[in-house]
Chain A
Amino acid sequence: MITIPRYLDRSANPVVRLVGLGNAGVNLADRITMSGLNVDVVAMNSDQQSLSSSVAPVRVALGPLATRGLGAGGDPEIGADAARESQAEIEEALAGADIVFLAAGLGGGTASGAAAAVADAARGAGALLIAMVTSPFAFEGRRRAAQAAAGLADIVARADAVIHFDNDRMADLTAPRAGVSETFAACDELLGSCVQAFSRLMAAPGPMSVGLPDLISVLRGGDAECLFGTAEARGDNRAHEALEVALRSPLLDRGRLLDQAGALLIHVSGPPSFSFAEADAVLNGISKHINEETLVHLGVSTVDDPSAPVSLTLIGKCGATARVEPVQRPAARKTAPVEVRPVEPVPAAQPPEPEHQEEFASPEPAPPPRPAVVDRPPPPERPSRVAPDAGKPKPTPPKVRQETLQFEPVARGRFEKSEPTIVEGEDLDVPTFLRRNKKH
């Protein structure tokens, strides 16, 4: 019997668990919970107040004795003590996970101090660890920056992949005059879309697929900043639009940062109508920005749903090309694989639309607190921004829509063959009285 880790087994549906550590992490965890993404969400904090208002289904209070629920007060030492005290709870929360996303805002006490313990627990559970961290704003001071750097080093030493964003750059996400909460919300949203993009990437089969190995090789090691941009677009000009929006991500600085990427993962997916020419246009648009040294991992896939948007995800890391040797894993890790299960009715090669199949078969509610169910379809391919829909079975009609044929119902008379004058979406060559239906 071949033994491979579950997270590399496409036929199995890996248990993805997102751990929000510290205040920022809990905020993100809440956001992910509400966005209805198909992951288990765990909130961990030493601050009981933040935990009590969290909507995450699993909440772990760190160091109730060490901190008395009052938080680490910005001291990583206390954070580390708290994690040590609650080690059993942490391990319990992570047991059975195949992939762990560790989301934390570095610089404070809890995240910087407890990250190492959580990372160890995740590895102990045999999971692949992808850390998603932000470094503090420059105005938060040197002390915080130093704590963040130490915390980041702890994580880099343990995680399989590190996604590191700089908060200063995140502030550019919103207009200068945007409200504070709006800016933070935008930051969280970006991180959330990152998780979504990852799960989409891992789920999508295709002619040129990218998967976890590519992702890991792009993100492995180093504390350099990550490049990330994602977009979805529909309509006639979808390829171009997706490219534009993805490059507009502040984490790419309008594509300029792509030039610094050591390694870059590009994933394009679309409905069956997504043409080769469109894919070519998108990829050409990106290739203008990258330098010759960049190692590009390219994935193109299609989903069976004709109404799906074209989605584009760019993930990269600044600096030199990532090292090839894998991160040393604990010995236990290698011998704790899961056997390949007998082939199931849902063949591995065709995971598209498992979402619907599953939901049709068992219209069970999809509540966020989910026990570690082993048989779970891959996460949704489209980010469903459905607000907290806990307890409601998702209405999922098969997304087959009749394409409406555009035809010109109204006469343009002598302007039939000339370039149309489109102003604010109206063709001004068509008589006004017809457009306004003004029959007196």
Chain B
Amino acid sequence: MAREDIHVGLEVGTTKVCAVVAECRDDGDVRILGVGEAPSRGVRKGEIVDFENASKCVHEALSDAEDKSDVEIKSVWLAVTGSHIQSFNNRGSVAIAEDSGEITEQEIQEVEYKAKEISLPKENAILHSIIQHYYVDGQEGVLNPMGMLGTRLEADFHIIHGVMTRIQNTIRCVREFHIEVEDVVVNALASAQVVLDPHQKEAGAVVVDIGGGVTDFIVYLDGSVRHSGVLAVGGDHITNDISIGLRIPITRAEKLKIEEGSAVLGQALPGEKIILKNDTGFSGKEVEREMLNTIIHARLEELFTLLRKRIVDQVPEHLLGAGVMLTGGCSMIRGIREIAESVFEMPVTLTRAQAVSGPTSAFENPQFSTCIGLTKYAQAVRSEMPEESFFGRILRKAGRKFRLPF
């Protein structure tokens, strides 16, 4: 009988704090037991700006999740994001001891250590170091060099790093309630766990997770991470643009964006107006639909153009066979796929968590991709499954290296 583990994924987002409790079996099955949610306060652009308020929200979300799943939460896997998170690829190399010539665990650890010997700003810490592939005596594309013979082992790693103190703020928010943080995972990496299947990772795919405050992206090619990053622009920016452009309050702008907004131009009838009903403190207004759509279009087009530039810098677009996967709350805006396709010139798919079971409402909502991804990530790290273990082992090591100093 397969062992069952319960993992909790927690994301302190800009718009909402959510916690997903999932039962993960080591045959790869993930079943969601409950989802706790709370509207977020005190978070801007994915980072905490008001500690007290943010921890209240975390508390609400965790209690909500406990109620719904009937599980007592002791530890969580935490998603982190923010514009301070950066990444790059680095190669490490070691010479293998003359006498045996066999590559052992020690050499593999050493090569990773070498790859991480880079000069980061002193306040930054490495969050993840993800193996891309090994080279044994220049032979490319070695996936597992353990036990191979050679004189020189090299390895390409994708290294994600961020500002230590900012990450610690999020961690402290959770520790307040005496709940352990198992590990921190960057948003995009978590989302990719449930949005992409192994074939897509192999064929080359981009995951773009547009949240409230930030947009995370990650690029997979040949089964490993090639590029990742964070752009501090998200759904809030669209709301803000609408609020400024149409001169309406933020709350109305948010509602208008969700109910009426579209990113496609030229579909509104000429002069078509949307009537905003009066409300307390708001006297009602008529806005032009085309104006609304223009504002959304401009913002999203710019966002995708910036993303495309960053992605193509590292990975040529023709290698990305599986195209772009859009996820995150903001991917629910009408017409976002069309505009993404026109900018990326690649097939774009709106996705959400796949290969999980449980309450449908949870995994069908792209807002929960990251959280569900966290549980899947946790399972990959913890399980001993043959096809996952390699990736998992590397990830686990990465996690252990990142000690949380308290």
Interface residues of A (CB under 8 A from B): 411-415, 418-419, 421, 423-424, 428-429, 431-434, 436, 438, 440
Contact = CB atoms under 8 A, between A and B. Distances in A.
Given A421-B83, A433-B294, 5 more contacts: A418-B49, A421-B232, A431-B241, A433-B295, A440-B291
B349 to A, nearest CB: 25
Contact of B245 (A421, A431, A436): A431
Interface residues of B, number: 25
A413 B233 contact: no
29 contacts: A413-B243, A413-B244, A414-B243, A415-B44, A415-B240, A418-B44, A418-B49, A419-B83, A421-B45, A421-B231, A421-B232, A421-B233, A428-B231, A428-B232, A428-B302, A429-B237, A431-B244, A431-B245, A431-B299, A432-B241, A432-B295, A432-B299, A432-B301, A432-B302, A433-B241, A433-B245, A433-B295, A438-B294, A438-B298
A326 B291 CA distance: 80
Contacts of A436: 298
A415 B306 CA distance: 20
B250 interface: yes
Contacts, number: 64
B373 to A, nearest CB: 24
B240 A429 contact: yes
B241 to A, nearest CB: 4
B231 A423 contact: yes
Given A413-B243, A433-B298, A438-B298, A418 B45 contact: yes
6 smallest beta-carbon distances between A and B, as pairs: A431-B241, A432-B298, A421-B232, A413-B240, A433-B298, A432-B299
A378 B306 CA distance: 50
B298 A428 contact: no
Contacts of A424: 306
A411 B243 CA distance: 11
B244 A411 contact: yes
A231 B298 CA distance: 41
Contacts of A433: 241, 245, 294-295, 298-299
B280 to A, nearest CB: 20
A435 to B, nearest CB: 8
A440 B306 CA distance: 23
B306 A423 contact: yes
Contacts of A434: 244-245
Contacts of B23: none
A75 B241 CA distance: 75
B45 A419 contact: yes
B183 interface: no
A414 B49 CA distance: 13
A431 B231 contact: no
Nearest to B302: A432
A402 B319 CA distance: 52
Given A413-B240, A413-B244, A431 B49 contact: no
A432 B301 CA distance: 9
A419 B163 CA distance: 15
A256 to B, nearest CB: 15
B290 interface: yes
B236 interface: yes
Interface of B: 44-45, 49, 83, 231-233, 236-237, 239-241, 243-245, 250, 290-291, 294-295, 298-299, 301-302, 306
Nearest to B294: A440
Nearest to A412: B240
B274 to A, nearest CB: 15
A419 to B, nearest CB: 7
Contact of A414 (B231, B250, B291, B302): B250
Contact of B290 (A412, A419, A431, A440): A440
B40 to A, nearest CB: 14
Contacts of B236: 414-415
A433 B45 CA distance: 20
Contacts of A423: 231, 306
B392 to A, nearest CB: 34
A411 B237 CA distance: 12
Contacts of A411: 244
Nearest to A418: B44
B290 A428 contact: no
A52 B254 CA distance: 76
A179 B338 CA distance: 46
A440 B246 CA distance: 13
Contacts of B45: 418-419, 421
A431 B294 contact: no
Contacts of A413: 240-241, 243-244, 250
Contacts of A429: 237, 240
A434 B44 CA distance: 22
Nearest to B295: A433
Identify the interface centre among B45, B243, B244: most chain A CB within 10 Å of its CB.
Answer: B244
Nearest to A424: B306
A419 B84 CA distance: 11
A415 B45 CA distance: 9
A419 B239 CA distance: 18
Contacts of A419: 45, 83
A421 B237 CA distance: 11
Contacts of B233: 421, 428
Contacts of B231: 421, 423, 428
B245 A428 contact: no
Contacts of B306: 423-424
A381 B237 CA distance: 48
Given A418-B45, A423-B231, A431 B240 contact: yes
A431 B295 contact: yes
A411 B83 CA distance: 21
A414 B241 contact: no
A121 B335 CA distance: 82
Contacts of B295: 431-433
Nearest to B49: A418
Nearest to B83: A421
A146 to B, nearest CB: 40
A119 B233 CA distance: 66
A413 B44 CA distance: 13
A433 B297 CA distance: 9
Contacts of B241: 413, 431-433
Contacts of A438: 294, 298
A423 B232 CA distance: 9
A246 B62 CA distance: 55
Nearest to A410: B244
Contacts of A418: 44-45, 49
A419 B166 CA distance: 13
A434 B240 CA distance: 12
A423 B44 CA distance: 17
A433 B265 CA distance: 14
Nearest to B214: A421
Contacts of B49: 418
A132 B70 CA distance: 83
Contacts of A414: 236, 239-240, 243, 250
Nearest to B309: A424
Contacts of A415: 44, 236-237, 240
A440 B296 CA distance: 13
A304 B278 CA distance: 62
Contacts of A431: 237, 240-241, 244-245, 295, 298-299
B252 to A, nearest CB: 13
